Structure 1
């Protein structure tokens, strides 16, 4: 079996819905990262086997192919878009790595993109024209009515209640995520992974977007504690301990190790394995628990062997419950902040985790790193990587 290695990984700054990236279509956001990766590595556009992108709320029409064309890739380079909801970006990386392992190709661009700002409105077709007002969908169905299909925040409340995760604990975790992200921004820790986005304003001015929009420098535990629950009258989930809604793109250049070295490039991480698992959709936030457990069992490792974890922070309650169930020390998790601070651009988030993991594993000389997410519909996804010594 061929070794699949990560050679480079990049992401755009992450903007909030209606924020700094609101004027960019998703294919354009992804194209910025594609162009940056190819410029940095000098890999020929002609040699790319496929572009694989995750996307959740886009316009359809195969965003991966559109992004490839927007980035100026040759017509013969195909593209495919995958949808495992919040896990789409990580699934794209997994798929590319599996294709390399199987010998189907040598060079893949994989990741994800999301523009919640540009997401189209989706309207249900009336059964009888003109008799009823059209119904606008706010989200897709993730489960059946019989089983339960709660809003994401309701599911986070379910997890908090079941696993005794108090509002105080959630607020404190969120505060630490913001503090770590702000520290990383101010120290330049994100610079290696960021692709600046150039924007021409309505007044004709050139503007460079080179910083994430959502981390709050002035967040305090007092401010967080005053926020009211959003999803349940006596609940614990607030706007302060839940992730924002976001725009952004992240991609990874995945190659066979043989091709990587043939081109004189330096491999950073080796893809080891990945696993997906399902849970009760009413408690979807703990999906990472069986996914990580399955992955570790299959690879013969334990959490003691894992040096760093990038865990998608959709809600503080689900992160804390999962860490508790998996016995993961907090100091191993999201060492430079997570989605509570940076944001959660759905289809891109999994690739953001891998990008962050590549940078942090290099800086901390970690051997094994894990990326994992909880996913709508009661799913979990986890991927394991090993750092390659330079």
Structure 2
């Protein structure tokens, strides 16, 4: 069975909290378990059947190890017979996990699966070597470029000629859109309440914040105000073969792609991934009604949009705000993008045939993208 017959019939996420704030004490399974339970309940209600889950696949970047997907499956009450697998494609992990689940169903194992991502930056263990701690593992071997993500964003801004003014405007739009979405309740149906936390952690960047923020590098353009926050959160979707969907509305996975790019400029990876998915899915930019491209930095987002030929302020892109406003729980962010597409397209009543794209750029020089289509 080809991947285009795999359907996402439910999608949920936690609020997204800045590291060491609302979810400071919560482990990965305490974030992912409730999301898995709620998403599965949604899917079973939508399909009118009990779904025998074959596997739980979650993206996770920073630990704690011990196969967080399996631990989350047990915490969610799925039973001892449901296995789990945890994958690491850094910021694309959550979306890559969904691709892995879709491939398994598309290859002929037609049992439903749960996929997504989780990150608890607050409880992630410190890494050390010979007693010396270090902030992250290398994304490339010795002799290859391996810039810090902030440095990589600045390098991309310089390479693409992206000014601070454009970055400030992009960050402002993201926050304004997210604030409006939150105030009008557009996040409510996708959110799973965790510890009575019901809203996204910090939305709203003022003109003074943008104006006063200093560049993070001498003569640079990237600032803290145009960079996302390190965050905690989880997201999950339920995937079923088309014949299990029944009359439930959902998102058919029409195409997907995981590609490599220059590790010196990793922030551009989403662009070739989207282009590859378009080639596979026989689509083009003008066909797509909704884009959710993970915003790690304003400079990185603008570079990707430029490569794709999309205007800075295109209303189709992160229409309810992106990671600059909501936060960036690394291993979950790609799955959060899919949950957002599900809300914008399925929950909002977009007609059958409407297309959406979720994508992420990844440290080390990767890009992940998925093209989906509404079914009703």
What is the TM-score normalised by the length of structure 2? Answer: 0.94
C-alpha displacement of 1:26 = 0.4
Give me the whole-angstrom Cα distance separating, in 2, the residues matched to 1:313 and 1:354: 14
Q: 5 Å matches for 1:246-261?
A: 246-261=231-246
| Counterpart residue number, 2:203 | 215
Instruction: Answer yes or no: is 1:370 the counterpart of 2:354.
Output: no
> Which has the greater radius of gyration?
1
Task: For 1:59-70, list aligned pairs within 5 A.
Answer: 59-70=64-75
Label 1:319 to 1:97 Cα distance change in 2 as closer, same or farther (>3 A).
same
Deviation string for 1:322-350 (max 9, x for gaps)? 11111123221000000000000000001
Q: Which runs of 4+ in 1 moved over 2 A?
A: 38-46, 219-223
| Aligned position for 1:40 | 42
Match 1:228 to one of 214, 222, 226: 214
1:269 to 251, 256, 259: 251
1:10 matched residue in structure 2? 12
8 Å CA contact 2:51, 2:112 repeated in 1: no
Alignment of 1:336-347 (within 5 A): 336-347=320-331
Aligned-CA RMSD value: 1.4
Q: What is the TM-score with the length of structure 1 in the denominator? A: 0.91
User: Is 1:379 matched with 2:366?
Assistant: yes
Q: Distance in 2 between matches of 1:87 and 1:114?
A: 12
Q: Deviations over 1:80-100 (max 9, x none)?
A: 111111000001111111111
Q: How does 1:44-55 map to 2 (within 5 A)?
A: 47-55=52-60
Q: Verify: 1:301 aligned to 2:283, yes or no.
A: yes
Q: Equivalent residue of 2:328, what SS?
A: coil
1:135 maps to 132
Q: Secondary structure at the match of 1:307?
A: strand
Residue 189 of structure 1, aligned match among 186, 191, 195: 186
The answer for the alignment partner of 1:131 in structure 2 is none
Partner of 1:240: 225
1:358-388 residue CA offsets vs partner (Å, 9 max, x unmatched): 1111326261100001000011111000001
The answer to whether the 8 A contact 1:227-1:239 is kept is yes
Aligned pairs, how many?
Answer: 366
CA contact (8 A) 2:55 2:84 kept: yes
What is the aligned counterpart of 1:122 among 119, 127, 144? Answer: 127
Residue 38 of structure 1 deviates from its aligned partner by: 2.6
CA deviation string 1:19-56 (max 9, x = no partner): 10111100111001011123333477771110000000
